[in-house]
Amino acid sequence: MSLESSVKILAIAIVLSLTAVGALAVFVGPAPASPPGGDPTLPLGQGRVRTDKNCYLPGQTVTITLKNVGQAALVYSSLPDFEVENETIGTVRMVRDWTRAGYHLDPGASVSWTWDQKWRAWDGTGHELNKGMFVPRGGYVVIAEALVGVEISDVVQIARSAFAIGDCLAQVSAGDDIIVGEGRTFQFNPRIQITGDATITSITWDLDPAVDSNGDGNTTNDMDLIGTHPSFSFGDDGVYPVVMNVRGFGRLSGMDRVAQDVVFAIDSSDSMQWRDPLDYRKIAVKDYVAWMVPNDRGAVVDFDSAARVVNGDHLSSDYARIQADVDTIDSSGGVFLSAGLLLSLYELRDYGDATHKWLVIFETGAETENPRDPFYIPRAIDLAKDLGVAIYTVGLNVVEPEQRALMLQIADETGGRFFNSASASNLRKIYDDIAGLNATQGAFFTVSDSLSVTVDNTPPSLAVESSVPVNMTFRVAGEKYHDVAFSLLKDGAEIANATIIRMPGDPDNQSAAIGTIDFDVASTYEARIVYTPDDDPVNGQESGANPAELILVFSDGTNVTLGHTFNVNHPDTWVWDVPDLEAFFVGRAVSLPVSISDPGTDDVTIAWDWGDGTIDLRTVFNDGVGPDPYPSPWGLPVSLTDVGVHTYATAGSYSVSLTVTDDDAGSTVLLFTLSVG
């Protein structure tokens, strides 16, 4: 427990502010009505603490991460810290001194610590318990904590997570916590390390640990998803815990034994060119190194007519370097068996950890060429006995009886074993010998870890689909040699243009066919025609005029002709504007289809404000029956078409708004001007 306060409060920080929701168009004020089925609470910060593995070997560093998976900041009066508890022996890692400071952990942010598995605890008198010692094997709980309050501070418990220290067949992490938008597909990326002699048979994911779907009494082992990297999407916002279950069959290794110091003595004589042309001896040793677990150490001795510790790299737990040293072994020179044996034993004598098991793996063709071997090999055997070193001899194409006998003698007298080939399976037997597992029965196992998926709400998207096709023709008659320019603008931007120069002849043959324009009733249109006679040639009629016509033909065959006369002597006639052109083809009875989509499995409220004091409000339920519960991640995304129908009492221009709000308060507003005739 913390020494500063005996009071612990399970707390979630609440921030009294509303978060803004992104929009496709523009937002104006609150939604016209409360969304159905929404979560009425304010945004919350939510802390989650995790370890990077479910299980740790003794002495292995534990990495602990506190993350805010909520929607608002976590606020404390100190930097967060952590304690570690065991149900039997109590708190083994305490918070003794708090670092006081205003602290904010924003949504999605995290803070991490490491723990070396050593005691850091005090009794009631202030005496430190088990100073410098590793905690025993067992089940533990890490508790993230912080202070709240200024003058009088309390210790609040932010979150807790369980893990184990001891026999780990597999060390697993379900992966990093995930933040994603509703309806967006994401992929799980777990980390799985096999630390024992085990085979994984299945990896499954339980997406709702509160529900026992398979009815076996365990709510966290349902097979909602299968595989190492499955993909999924949640249809509603919220924080969803997910449990990964890894099932397999195997035996423990690396945990029921003391750590080992291993010297790999590898024959590099030229006889290896034919005894081991495919370098099986090197491949097998690197496999052995890959099986090592933290605290195991290794070194490589290269011997031919002499012996050396490769690169001077003495016993260490740098497994990548050990494997790289193995790769340097060549196949040239003579062979002096005693040199390889004695240097391996000296390496253990001078650099070995007395608390570890010492052994030599001696890979050779056993073809001695040095006359001193018969004298020095017995001395090497005696030294191995004195040091307690077991020598495992591995033959490389050894067929001569006297050579096999020598390999057997070295192994038998030192407590090792002789293998007649350098295969990964043979070296695995050595590994299992050291672990003392040869007689251990296999067993099925399940290991689990969890993560959280934070799903953010996405507001609806919408698009008004109604348009009216209108065929447009521009015609100019009257005085010759004058040019008239036509321009059609949609919401202020030009979308079509034409120019007519009045020439002698029938004006119908000189008209400009603008073509069929799809008029969007949610947009405004303007026709602008400009007459510029100052630079035109004069045809003898200084006061002549040019009548112009804009002809609109609708899909039902009806038409409207708009006219204007330009006169050289009247500049006020030189610009002809036709604003709100849509009023000529939109009647007072309006029918506007709108497409509405939302990646969430939400109910939506649709509000049409027609700009004349009339508001039409309706709710569409996702299941077609009733309000959506919160959360509701399992339904279908929203995809519907709503038709806004309204009849205006008088012609004119009206400011119309369409507001669509989902049941999580995500809202999108579309504003447009509607001109009716």
- pLDDT value at position 26? 25
Compute the distance between CA of residue 654 and CA of residue 674 in angstroms, rounded to an integer: 5
Q: Is the pLDDT of residue 258 over 70?
A: no
Assigned fold of 260-435: Rossmann fold (3.40.50)
Q: What is the pTM of this model?
A: 0.50
Domains of the chain by residue range? 1-166, 169-252+441-458, 260-435, 467-581, 588-676
C-alpha distances out from residue 229 to 82, 197, 244, Å: 31, 23, 11
Query: Would the CATH topology of 169-252+441-458 be identical to that of 588-676?
Result: yes
- pLDDT value at position 494? 93
Compute the distance between CA of residue 110 and CA of residue 70 in angstroms, rounded to an integer: 12
C-alpha distances out from residue 348 to 342, 370, 394, Å: 10, 24, 19
Residue from 121, 17, 28, 30 nearest 71 by CA: 17
CATH class of the domain at 588-676 = mainly beta
Higher pLDDT, 259 or 142: 142
Which residues share a beta bridge with 591?
Answer: 645
Highest mean pLDDT among 14-18, 26-30, 258-262, 415-419: 415-419
- pLDDT value at position 93? 96
Task: List CB contacts of 472: < 8 A, sequence separation 6 or more.
Answer: 488, 496, 514, 515, 516, 517, 550, 551, 552, 553
Look up the CATH number of domain 169-252+441-458.
2.60.40.10
Please name the helix (run of DSSP H) or strand (run of DSSP E) that holds residue 517, with its range, or none: strand 512-520
Query: DSSP code of 570?
Result: B
Q: Is the pLDDT of residue 674 over 80?
A: no
| Alpha carbon of residue 567 to chain centroid | 71
- pLDDT value at position 408? 92
Task: Decide if 59 contacts 632 (C-beta within 8 A).
Answer: no
Least trusted range by pLDDT, from 326-340, 541-555, 651-665: 541-555
Higher pLDDT, 295 or 587: 295
Compute the distance between CA of residue 672 and CA of residue 668 in angstroms, rounded to an integer: 13
Q: Is the pLDDT of residue 644 over 90?
A: no
Tell me the average pLDDT of the chain: 82
Least trusted range by pLDDT, from 12-26, 64-78, 245-259: 12-26
**3-state SS string over 83-135?**
EEEECCCEEEECCCCCCEEEEEECCCCEEEEEECCECEEECCCCCEECCCCEC
Give the burial string for 464-474 (b: 16+ CB within 10 Å, else e). bebeeebebbb
Compute the distance between CA of residue 482 and CA of residue 532 in angstroms, rounded to an integer: 8
- pLDDT value at position 1? 40
Compute the distance between CA of residue 336 and CA of residue 314 in angstroms, rounded to an integer: 21
- pLDDT value at position 157? 93
- pLDDT value at position 356? 84
Q: Is the pLDDT of residue 12 over 80?
A: no
Q: Is the pLDDT of residue 117 over 80?
A: yes
CATH number of this structure's domain 1-166, picked from the four choices 2.60.40.1930, 3.50.50.60, 3.30.70.990, 3.10.310.10: 2.60.40.1930
- pLDDT value at position 539? 64
Compute the distance between CA of residue 618 and CA of residue 644 in angstroms, rounded to an integer: 11
Higher pLDDT, 33 or 268: 268
